[in-house]
Amino acid sequence: MGEKVVAGRFALSDRQRYRRKLQQCLAGLARLLDEKRFDRPKNLMGLEIELNLAGADGLPRMMNAEVLERIASHDFQTELGMFNLEVNIVPHRLGGRVLDQLAEELRAGLGYADRKANEVGAGIVMIGILPTLVQDDLVSGNLSDADRYLMLNEQILAARGEDFTLDIAGVERLTCTSASIAPEAACTSVQLHLQVTPARFADVWNAAQAIAAVQIAVGANSPFLFGKELWRESRPPLFQQATDTRPPELQAQGVRPRTWFGERWVSSAYDLFEENLRYFPPLLPICAEEDPLRVVDEGGVPGLKELVLHNGTVYRWNRPVYGVADGVPHLRVENRVLPAGPTVTDVIANAAFFYGLVRALGDESRPVWSRLPFEAAAENFDTACRDGIDAELHWPRPGRAGGVTRVPAVKLVRDELLPLAAAGLDAWNVDPADRDRYLGVIEQRCKRRMNGASWQADTYHRALEAGLEREAALAAMTRRYSELMLEGEPVHTWPVGFPGPGG
């Protein structure tokens, strides 16, 4: 979806033609897999972070076009809402001091972007959901001025046929409706990419699904929406409901949502692309000129543009990605679980935990997904989103006894998963100093039971106790968050509360 999409309104025949092209693309993908045409192992990883723009008052600023013009860098791009930006870090090879290198690149890039945003009265805030957003901020008039967003909004609305309903019951309950997909823009995330060979794809994807709940538990950073305290990580329910093409009747029939955890472990990347075609009608039936099967017949590498476009409108939390670089096709797992922030150090710590774990779990002779029912992994994901660092998760019992037990997420991480993540980073040949520094951040979050979501909630309640009204408390908390984010120390070290009146 990052490429520019330009098309007029669609004719009735467009969807049938597009569906035929999708089947040709899928057959082309199968051919490429059978003929072992994919790139060899390169240990490449990549990183994208979605960002918010807010003023010194902590309130959102609808001015990404002005800020992007001043930044003037291809590393920064527009995102769905006018208060959103995205920064992309070029792929790096896993190994050595890559984690510190990524952290330095991010600090430099985000610092530059923040200074440029300051020139027009805005600043960069790296947070899962900006706590000061109100419903009037998230309307179609505040969607970024790009064809792909406007067209996607039209097509999802047309498929649904009625307003979207948001209903999230957490600490408090939020119920409201929206006439557009704009509430999706509230969700700002970190996307971690890992290039894998076809033979390794299923192991990495299954491992990523198994640990998605653990990533959320230690990394939650989105407890507020529209002034309500909801789940510790409110992005997943919000994203699902804000992109839901199903009216209530289709939901009752069990039709799958486009924002989807999935329903089974897989044996190949093909499984996921095939499911996307089987279960999800096209939203943007835009056909390219390429004949993918002819390209394969002639020994070339097809772009599979219809498949790639369709894949970008199915919002799996771990998404399969097909790409072509230097004329060679490759596969990636895109991990979309994590919220943005709170600091660069926290983001890199979350990345280290992910890349280490998927390597170690993927190498196990009795992998966790052979011992954990998929339904338990899906239930874990919802539990972690609700409860954050206090979640209790289903996990296979250690040893040969078998079966599944419930264990506090912090105990699971400290006793079992951090040693595995360390072993995985060793297998990637990551420098021990980087390994210990960033996994140490995860360990300290567990020890102190403090992540971005718990800091936000605790500081907000401190403000309420000091006599601030709800909106003022959220704004004060957001301003303090921004100060500490810029200082850069990891969130588990942040003092709760804020200086001055109401602190």
pLDDT computed for residue 9 by the predictor:
66
pTM of the full structure:
0.96
Burial 302-328 (b: 16+ CB within 10 A, else e): bbbbbbbbbbbbbbbbbbbbbeeeeee
One-letter amino acid of 207: A
Residue 346: pLDDT above 70?
yes
Residue count (the chain): 503
Torsion of CA 47, 492, 134, 52, to 10 degrees: -30
Contacts of 261 (CB under 8 A, 6+ apart): 209, 212, 316, 317, 377, 378, 381
pLDDT band at 239 (very low <50, low <70, confident <90, very high): very high
Torsion of CA 14, 19, 23, 28, to 10 degrees: 40
**Is the separation of the CB atoms in 320 and 333 below 8 Å?**
yes
Q: How far is CA 471 from the centre of its chain?
A: 27
Residue 184: pLDDT above 90?
yes
Q: Using CA atoms, how far apart are residues 185 and 283, in angstroms rounded to an integer? A: 18
Residue 41: pLDDT above 70?
yes
Percent with pLDDT over 90 in the chain: 93
Token couple for 351: 């990345």
382-404: average pLDDT: 93
Helix ranges, 125-265 (H): 147-160, 198-219, 235-242, 248-252
Q: Which of 191-205, 307-321, 338-352, 397-411 has the lowest mean pLDDT?
A: 397-411
pLDDT computed for residue 10 by the predictor:
75
- Tokens 């100093």 belong to which residue? 433
Mean pLDDT rounded to a whole number for the chain = 95
3-state secondary structure 81-132: ECCEEEEEEEEEECCECHHHHHHHHHHHHHHHHHHHHHCCCCEEECCCCCCC
Residue 3: pLDDT above 50?
no
CA distances to 8, 10, 108, 322, 501 from 362, rounded to whole Å, are: 45, 43, 33, 20, 51
Percent with pLDDT over 70 in the chain: 97
Query: Cα–Cα–Cα angle for 175, 223, 233, nearest 5°?
Result: 95
pLDDT band at 402 (very low <50, low <70, confident <90, very high): confident
pLDDT computed for residue 6 by the predictor:
44
316-327: average pLDDT: 97
Q: What is the pLDDT of residues 48-85, one digit of tens each?
A: 999 999 999 999 999 999 999 999 999 999 999 999 99
Residue 162: pLDDT above 70?
yes
DSSP conformational letter for 314: S
CA distances to 26, 131, 310 from 283, rounded to whole Å, are: 17, 31, 7
Q: What is the pLDDT of residues 125-158, one digit of tens each?
A: 999 999 999 999 999 999 998 888 888 999 999 9
Residue 2: pLDDT above 70?
no
Contacts of 289 (CB under 8 A, 6+ apart): none
Nearest CA-CA partner of 198 in 295, 258, 272: 272
Token couple for 313: 């409108």
Residue 165: pLDDT above 90?
yes
Q: What is the pLDDT of residues 11-21, one digit of tens each?
A: 778 889 999 99
pLDDT computed for residue 7 by the predictor:
44
Contacts of 278 (CB under 8 A, 6+ apart): none
pLDDT computed for residue 500 by the predictor:
54
200-221: average pLDDT: 98
Nearest CA-CA partner of 111 in 336, 318, 343: 343
Q: What is the pLDDT of residues 406-455, one digit of tens each?
A: 999 999 999 999 999 999 999 999 999 999 999 999 999 999 999 999 99
CA distances to 164, 266, 323, 394 from 27, rounded to whole Å, are: 35, 18, 16, 38
One-letter amino acid of 101: Q
Q: What is the pLDDT of residues 262-291, one digit of tens each?
A: 999 999 999 999 999 999 999 999 999 999
Burial of 5 (0-12, 13-18, 19+ CB in 10 A): middle
- If you write DSSP's letter for every residue of 163-180 in order, what string do you get? -EEEEEESSSEEEEEESS
pLDDT computed for residue 1 by the predictor:
36
